[in-house]
Each structure stands twice: as C-alpha cells, then as structure tokens.
Amino acid sequence: MQVSIKWLKDYIDFDWTAEELADKFTMAGVPVENVVHADEGLEKVVTGRLDSVVKHPDSDHLQICSVNVGADAPLQIVTGAQNVREGQIVPVAMVGAKLPNGQKISKGKLRGVASNGMLCSAGELHMDLEKLPEEQKNGIYILPADTPVGQPVAKILGLDDVILEFELTANRGDCFSVFGLVREIAVLTGNQPKWPEIVCREDDPDKAADLISCGIDAPELCSRYAARVIKNVKIGPSPDWMQQRLEGAGIRAINNVVDVTNFVMVELGQPMHAYDYDEITGHTLTARLAKPGENLHTLDDSSRVAKGTELVIADSEHPAGLAGVMGGLETEVTENTKTIVLEAASFNGPSIRRTSRACGLHTEASGRFERGVDVPDIPRALDRAAQLLQDMGACTVTKGIVDVYPAPKKPVKIAYTADQINRRLGTKLDGAAMNDILEKLGFTVEAQGGGYVATVPNWRNDCTYMEDLSEEIARIYGFDRIPATVPHGMMMQGKQSEKQNLIAKIKHSLAALGMTEELSFSFTNTDILDKMLVPADSKLRRAIPIMNPLTDEAPLVRTSLLTSIMENALRNFSRKNMDLRYFDVAPVFFPKALPLTELPDERTECVGLLTGRRDEAGWNQSDEMVDFYDAKGIVEELFSALHIRNYTVEAGTHFAMHPGVTAVFKKGREVLAYVGELHPKAAENLGIKQKVYLFTMDVETLHRYMGSSFHFESLPKYPAISRDLAMVVAEDVPAASIEAVIANNGGEFFKDVTLFDVYTGKQVGEGKKSLAFSMQFQSKERTLKDEEADAAFQRILAAVEREFDAELRS
C-alpha cells in the first residue's frame, strides 16, 4: 500500500513533514516502510522558454539555444535535439543538477561553444512514457505554451509530492485506504477531516433493477453483492488530478471508468469492477463457484481451467470474472462501451487468497478482499464512483442499486473495564481517557454496570475482544509512554519430567548395548495386525481411523509399537539388511470410544528387535546368530540400569511370540516385559525366513518400579564362602522358582545365587533336567565358618527337595 501526501492533504490538514508523519504512523502501529520523494533529482530543473534557436556553426546536428529561465540573463545551451523551436517551453536542468537517472549537469563546451545546462527529455525526467503521445516520447519534452517560466518542473508536472510506502499487517484492512489513513491522522493530530460529500444524482429515467439482476449462489463466500447501472458512458482520459493521485498510489491510469474504480478502491478501500453491460449474457450477474473444467478468461488475456473451488461472477452462460481477483476479458470496458455495470461486493478473504495464489494473480483488489472490507459501506462506494463519473460529464446514472445482502452484518460489541485494560497494559489510565481514545477511533462507548461496552465501527474487522481494545488504546496513548515493568508471577525451572528422564535413560542404555534407535510414523493398518496374529477381540484392534491419511496403506493410528518395528524390519529385509538390532520408544493410542469424541489415552511403549548375526561379519568373528538369550540379556541389563530388582522371569505367552520361546518379566503380578521369538505363523505371514527375537514393555510400568532411592555400602572386608548345588528336577520347573526358594531359605548370611549350568539328556532321564547353582554366603562383620555355610546349604537343599521333588545330583 502506498499513497501520496497530497492525497492525504486533500482530506485533512497537518503541518508535519513526510518523515515526521511516517514516524507518527509507525509509532501508532501503522508502519511506514519507505518515504519516497517523487521530485528527487528534479531540484534544479526549471521551466524555460526558448528565445532563439540557431544552428551550430561547426555541426550539422547541434543547435544553440538561448533559454529564458526567469533569471537576469538568458542561458546558452547547446542541444542535439531536432524537435526544439523558438518560443517553446521546455524543462531545463541547471548546472549542478543531478537528474533521476544519475546524470550530473556541469558547464561544458560542444564544438567550441559554451553550454550552461541541458534541455531534458521525458525519459531523463523519469516520466511514465506510456502515458505520453508518441511525439513526446522522443526528443526534448515540450511543455504547454502557457506554462510560466522559471518554475520548478516538479511542480508543473505534479511531481512535487512525497509517497509513503506502508508495510501494513494483515489485520489492518481499514488502513488499505486513504480514508482509513486520514482517520488515523485525525486521531494523531486532533484535526477534523474534510470528508468529501458523496451525493449521486440519479438522472436517468431507467431503474437499475429493470436492467440487471444479481444473485448469490455461494453465500458462505460472498456476503454482499451490489451493482449500479451507468448509461451514456463517454470513455476518455480521466482528469490530471486523478491520474496524479493514482500514480502516487502506484496505479497506472487507463481511462476514466477504470481509473474511477481504482480511485474509489484506494480512497474508500472498496475494490470495484466495471462490466460492459452489452457483453453480459442474459443481463444477470451471479456470485457462484466455478464449475470444474470451466474456462476462466481474465483481463490479462490468460485462460485458466477452473478446479471448481474458485468463486466467480457469472452471467447466464459463463464466468464474467474471477471474483475479487480480476475481471473477465469478454466483459471488459472498451472505447465502444456505452453502458456499464459497476460492481461492489464483499468476498470471503481466505477463498480469495487461495484463488489468487492458485492462479498466480495478486492484485490490489485481492489484497484488500483478503483483509476484509467495510461491508455496510458498499453502497456508498457505488455512489462515489457514479458521482466521480458524473462530475466528469461522462455518464448518466440509473435509479437505485441492485443490492443482494442476505445476512446483514451485526454490530460487534465488546465489554471491558478500565481495570482490565490497565492490568494488561501496565498503565494507570482512567476510563474517561480510554473512552476518549476509542471514540476518536470511531468506536461508540456506553457505560454499563461497572464497566463499558464499545461498539466497533464497521470498518474495523480486526476488533473482536477486549485485548484488541487494549491494543488500540496503547498505540494511540503511545507505547513510549507506557513504563517498562518486569513481569512477575510464579516461576518454575525448565527441565525434563521424570518420565522424559526415564525415556532418555532407556534410549541411552539400549544404545550402549549395541542397539540402534529407529523412528516411525504413528500410523498402521489392519493388514499388519492380521499378520502379527493380534486376536480379533483384542483392544489393539480398536484403532482410531484417520480422516485424511497420508497414504491408503496407513489409515489407522497405531495401538502397538511392535507393528511399527516389524514394518521397518521388513523394509530392511527387502534391501538385504539382514542383521538388525533395533529399538523404539514411542507412544501408542487407545480411544475411549469410537467414533472419537475426546482425546485418546496415550501410553509409551519400548520395543526391541534382534535378528541375524551376533557379531559383524569378519574373518575373526564367528557366524553365530542371535538367540533368545541375547534379547533376554538386553532386557536384564536394561532393568539393571534402571535399578529394577527383585523381579521374576517365567515362561509365558504373547500373541506375536513363539509359545515355547517366550519369557515374562514380572514384579509381583504385574508384567514388566515380554521377551520371545517371533511366532512362526507371524513370520510366515510376513515372509520372514530367519529367526527374529522381540521384546516389549510399557514405559509407565517401568517408571513405577524404577529405583529412586539408593544407599551406599562399603566394600566387604571379609571373604565370602561359595557352595554349589546341582539337582535334577522336572523339565517344566522354572529356574527362577528354585532361585526364589534358595533365597528365602539361605539365612542371614545368604548373598547371591547364580545358575551356571543346565543339562538335559539320557543321563538325567526323560522329562527331567539338571540345574546347577552357585551360592554365595558372606558376613559384613566377621569371617564365616564352614559349619555356618554348610548349615545354610542343608536348609536350602531340604527346601528344594520338599518344594520341587528334587534329587541331589552327585
């Protein structure tokens, strides 16, 4: 958004320089990016009259001019231009001038004749050549014959202006207009604006409603659509003053009709469009969604194929324009146009932004619609455009406006108290001062109870909450006047939670054990659940469906981390990576009900997978493959790192694991972990031909049993006594159960027990196995006697024989 100082001063008086005004705007929350002086480089360029033009004595193409610039004596200037004649008024660059193109003017001689300045062309003055007639584009620029001599050229050409370039935030749509900026200046200066009187004379006997019909088929994308019909149109150039104002706003003048619509857009902030009435099929205009495949032929002479998401303005047969972005070429106003339809509407901002980006068309109109317009003020914009055309004598205006407004905008009211505003800003303003600021900004304020209710003006689409009012008060009161204060409140140290620390420790421990962490998406499918043998009635099958999945292969939110790690393993197998040691610690999700009405339960699981060689391939490494005990050992080492003790390990079952090669780690009755070989049927379903070992555990359960308090003991001073116990028991007796009996009967000096041998074979008989344990006895206070260790050994032997029908093996 850019606007000239002259345009602002048309509507309000102020004494600030452009730079001072830019600072005031910026401090009030309306940031000015640049201040551009349009006359930069023209400071020493004045108007001059050619009193005489004679040929150069030593050149066929040079001429010597005597130029009257209003000084005591005329200037002698040598020029090579062939279009200069005696009596013409031309721009003269004086000695010392630095033109917009960077050229410096100094005294010189051309073929021995002194030249004290330079006659200027339009290009050297940085003028818009497209606006000039052909004869003025080349050679010296000739000014009108009645132009006074000795005047600054910038003033004569209307370039004695300053342009403010704004970098407005998206919420301040009201400041994308001259009226909006004038309102801000009025608040900052206290001066009263000089608003133009907008009066439209409906001087044509026809009624607009009899000539054009309008409709809205997409009310969610177009809240209001209005039109005026203008007859007896005379297409021609717009007045110089209007062209200068538009040029200051960065808009090129085209013709009076187009210029008026652009002028009103910048002045009031309401984009408009003019249609050639005779080119509108059926004389009807409807705001509707484009039909997929429909051709969109816009004013830039580009054709686009509609996707069906674009809002268009269509006549009875085809689109006449891309709503809010650009008009259609077929209904363009041309020099043959006699009747026009002026359109003003309110379109959905996000829809316009999507269409604009999809089509690669960002226009002044689309930028304003994206930020929102003053919907109740739409008829005034139509009246203003008609008035300007009437003032040019370029038309007659039919009676009435065709206005489709199905759901009029309701006033926005915001309740607040002075205390709320002060607490948020850190100020001590009273209610009267706040209300005065808001009323200057166009708000209507009424006292209500112990506070106030402010009615937001129609042009402020960004104000909906008390916080918005506080920002308005702060920026007008002055951010620099608000004292700096240190925020106070409850402070807390930023650190990881206990659970996060536990997860970090699990990852570190497993990585230290030679495993690699994998990363996976939190999505799955029913096919992998089937292949992993998840029971039909398992809660793992109550997965949350995804409304818009990234891929059809992952339409569910996962309920088990085993499925994710197996899918990653399959991807590695397909790439011939057969030696894997993976782990993952990540969340799984369980819905409380389906369809989902509230956030699901989220639990964190830790899973691991081992397969392939135990060691990397090498000439000095064995080809042994990992087995169940590698996985079990990793879990035991992890529990040791987490200080989880006094757990039991027993045979168990898991749906995804081999029924005879599965162990369950328990603490009392609660399961800590499952470790086992992948079920042969699951391996067959997944196409895996090598043994895979898995472990899975619930992180929340580990958290409950993780050691948190510790004490330190000195190293033992006295030696320990060792006793070995080898026995034959039934093959289905768990070693952990025997270890528990040994510990319970070992007495006060019992220290530890370790299983060091397992044997099955003919020597112990069918259905039997031999287990050998090493037991340690030790005292902290003295050296134990053999008799004390032997007595403990006998108690243990008796208990084991009694509990498990064990036989001592000699």
Condensed to tens digits (0 to 9), the pLDDT of residues 491-509 reads 777 888 899 999 999 999 9
What's the pLDDT score for residue 710?
73
CB 728 within 8 A of CB 809: yes
For residues 455 and 445, what is the distance between their CA atoms, to the nearest angstrom? 6
> Cβ of 585: how many Cβ atoms within 10 Å?
20
CB 626 within 8 A of CB 615: no
Residue among 12, 72, 337 at smallest CA distance from 196? 12
- Segments of the chain scoring below 70 in pLDDT: none
Residue 250, sorted as left (phi over 0), alpha (psi -120 to 50) or beta, turns out to be: left
CB 717 within 8 A of CB 791: no
What's the pLDDT score for residue 234?
96
For residues 290 and 381, what is the distance between their CA atoms, to the nearest angstrom? 27
Residue 178, sorted as left (phi over 0), alpha (psi -120 to 50) or beta, turns out to be: alpha
Q: How far is CA 446 from the centre of its chain?
A: 38
3-state SS class at 645: coil
3-state SS class at 635: helix
Structure token pair of residue 100: 């917009």
Burial 430-454 (b: 16+ CB within 10 A, else e): ebeebbebbeebbbebeeeeeebeb
For residues 150 and 682, what is the distance between their CA atoms, to the nearest angstrom? 98
What's the pLDDT score for residue 494?
82
CB 756 within 8 A of CB 722: no
For residues 565 and 554, what is the distance between their CA atoms, to the nearest angstrom? 14
The alpha-helical segments, DSSP class H, found in 709-805 are 735-745, 786-804
For residues 703 and 684, what is the distance between their CA atoms, to the nearest angstrom? 35
Cis before 719 (ω within 30): no
User: In whole angstroms, how far apart are CA 577 and each of 532, 565, 570, 573?
Assistant: 21, 14, 9, 5
Cα dihedral 96, 138, 334, 223 sign: negative
Structure token pair of residue 131: 């606006």
Length of the chain: 810
For residues 147 and 158, what is the distance between their CA atoms, to the nearest angstrom? 13
For residues 311 and 305, what is the distance between their CA atoms, to the nearest angstrom? 13
Residue among 690, 659, 653 at smallest CA distance from 674? 653
Tell me 484's DSSP state. P
- Burial of 272: CB neighbours in 10 Å, binned 0-12, 13-18, 19+: buried
Amino acid residing at 161: D
Cα dihedral 66, 69, 75, 78 sign: negative
What's the pLDDT score for residue 472?
95
Q: How many CA atoms lie within 13 A of 379 on its CB side?
A: 9
Instruction: List 728's β-bridge partners, or say none.
Output: 770, 807
Residue 107, sorted as left (phi over 0), alpha (psi -120 to 50) or beta, turns out to be: beta
What's the pLDDT score for residue 732?
87
Specify the pairing of strand 692-698 against strand 222-231: unpaired
What's the pLDDT score for residue 809?
83
CB 774 within 8 A of CB 756: yes
Q: What is the pTM of this model?
A: 0.63
> In three state form, how does the secondary structure of 404-448 look?
ECCCCCCCCEEEECHHHHHHHHCCCCCHHHHHHHHHHCCCEEEEE
